[in-house]
Amino acid sequence: MSAVPAGAAVGMPHPFRMPSGTSLRFALLILSMSTAMATTLGGLVGMAAYLGLGGDIGGITETMTCAAANLPGAATDPGKFARICPQPNLGDQTALGLAALGALWLAVGIVYWLLPAYRIRRRRLRPLPTTGLADVRRTLDEMVAVAGLRCRVRFVVDWRDRAPSGLAFGRVGRRHVMLSTGLLQLHRQDPEAFRAIVLHELAHLRNRDVDIAFLTIICYRLFVVAVAIPIAVTAPYALLVAWLLLPSSLLFQLQFTLAMCALAATVALTSTAVLRSRELYADARVAVWTGGAPSLRRLLAAQCDRERTDRRRSPFLRPHPPAAKRLAALSDPRLLFAFGPREAFGLALTCSLVYQQMSQWAEEAARLTDQGSPLSAVVPSVVLGGGVAMGIWHAVLAARLSRGRWEAAHRTGLATAAGLIVGTFGDKMHGTALALGVADALPIQLSWWLILGAVGYGFVRWNAATARVWAPVVLASRRPLLLVVGGCAVGVALLSICLGHAYAAGAPGFQLVPLPHPLNLLPTPLDYLGFVFSTAFVLTPPQWVITLAVVAAGFPLAARLGVRLSGRRRAGASTAGPERFLLQAVSAEDSAALLAPPQLRPLKALVQGAVFGAAAGLGLWLWHLFCALVFPGPIERVGAVFSFYQIALATLLQLAVGFVVAWRHARGELRALHGILGVLGAGLLLPLAAITARNHFACVRWGTGHAACRVAPDVAFAVSATPTVTAWAAALALLFIPAWTACRDSRLRRPVIVRLVTSEAGR
DSSP string, 566-606: HHHHHHH-TT-SGGGGBSS---HHHHHHHTSPP---HHHHH
Residue 676: HSE in the Cβ half-sphere, 13 Å Cα cutoff = 28
pLDDT band at 446 (very low <50, low <70, confident <90, very high): confident
- Residue 557 has what pLDDT? 78
Tell if the pTM clears 0.85, that is, is over it: no
Higher pLDDT, 469 or 547: 469
- Residue 161 has what pLDDT? 84
Which DSSP symbol is given to 179? Answer: E
pLDDT surpassing 60 at residue 648: yes
| Three-state secondary-structure class, residue 178 | strand
Tell me the pLDDT tens digit for each residue of 672-714.
788 888 888 888 888 878 777 766 666 666 666 665 566 666 6
Average pLDDT over residues 8-15: 66
The fraction of the chain above a pLDDT of 90, given in percent, is: 4
Average pLDDT over residues 186-197: 89
Average pLDDT over residues 96-116: 81
Other C-beta atoms closer than 10 Å to the C-beta of 517 total: 8
Average pLDDT over residues 150-179: 88
Give the Cα separation of 384 and 225 in Å (integer): 27
Classify strands 126-127 and 153-158 as parallel, antiparallel or unpaired: antiparallel
pLDDT surpassing 90 at residue 202: yes
Tell me the pLDDT tens digit for each residue of 372-426.
566 777 777 887 888 888 888 888 888 888 777 788 888 898 999 999 998 888 7
C-beta separation of 403 from 4 below 8 A: yes
- Residue 753 has what pLDDT? 34
**Stretch among 18-22, 45-49, 138-142, 199-203 having the lowest mean pLDDT:** 45-49
Classify strands 126-127 and 174-180 as parallel, antiparallel or unpaired: unpaired
Highest-scoring range by mean pLDDT, 529-543, 622-636, 660-674: 660-674
| Three-state secondary-structure class, residue 460 | helix
* End-to-end Cα separation, the chain, in angstroms: 20
- Residue 712 has what pLDDT? 61
- Residue 6 has what pLDDT? 36
Highest-scoring range by mean pLDDT, 96-110, 158-172, 316-330, 679-693: 158-172
- Topology of domain 111-212 in CATH is Zincin-like (3.30.2010)
Q: Which amino acid is at 79?
A: G
pLDDT band at 752 (very low <50, low <70, confident <90, very high): very low
Give the Cα separation of 70 and 701 in Å (integer): 56
Q: Where exactly are the structural domains of the chain?
A: 111-212, 338-598, 599-762
pLDDT surpassing 70 at residue 571: no
Give the Cα separation of 605 and 679 in Å (integer): 9
Give the Cα separation of 507 and 63 in Å (integer): 21
| Three-state secondary-structure class, residue 156 | strand
Give the Cα separation of 89 and 40 in Å (integer): 18
Tell me the pLDDT tens digit for each residue of 255-283.
878 887 887 888 888 888 888 888 999 99
| Three-state secondary-structure class, residue 307 | helix
pLDDT surpassing 70 at residue 552: yes
Q: Dihedral sign, CA of 599, 600, 603, 609? A: positive
| Three-state secondary-structure class, residue 13 | strand
Helix runs in 684-714, H state only: 686-702
- Residue 188 has what pLDDT? 87
Q: Bridge partners of 169? A: 176
Question: What is the average pLDDT score of the chain?
Answer: 75
Q: Dihedral sign, CA of 632, 637, 638, 641? A: positive
Tell me the pLDDT tens digit for each residue of 47-91.
555 555 445 555 555 665 665 555 554 444 445 555 556 555 555
pLDDT surpassing 50 at residue 8: no
How many residues are recorded in the chain? 763
pLDDT band at 198 (very low <50, low <70, confident <90, very high): very high
The fraction of the chain above a pLDDT of 70, given in percent, is: 69
- Residue 569 has what pLDDT? 61
pLDDT band at 528 (very low <50, low <70, confident <90, very high): low
C-beta separation of 410 from 392 below 8 A: no
Average pLDDT over residues 495-509: 79
**CA proximity to 519, closest of 643, 637, 640, 635:** 643
Report long-range pairs for 161-166 (Cβ below 8 Å, ≥24 apart).
Answer: 164/193, 164/194, 164/197, 165/197, 166/197, 166/198, 166/200, 166/201
Give the Cα separation of 196 and 300 in Å (integer): 11
Higher pLDDT, 49 or 452: 452
Tell me the pLDDT tens digit for each residue of 287-320.
888 888 888 888 888 887 776 655 555 666 778 8
- Residue 200 has what pLDDT? 92
- Residue 77 has what pLDDT? 47
- Residue 705 has what pLDDT? 62
pLDDT surpassing 60 at residue 495: yes
pLDDT surpassing 70 at residue 605: yes
- Residue 606 has what pLDDT? 87
Which DSSP symbol is given to 482? Answer: H
pLDDT surpassing 50 at residue 1: no
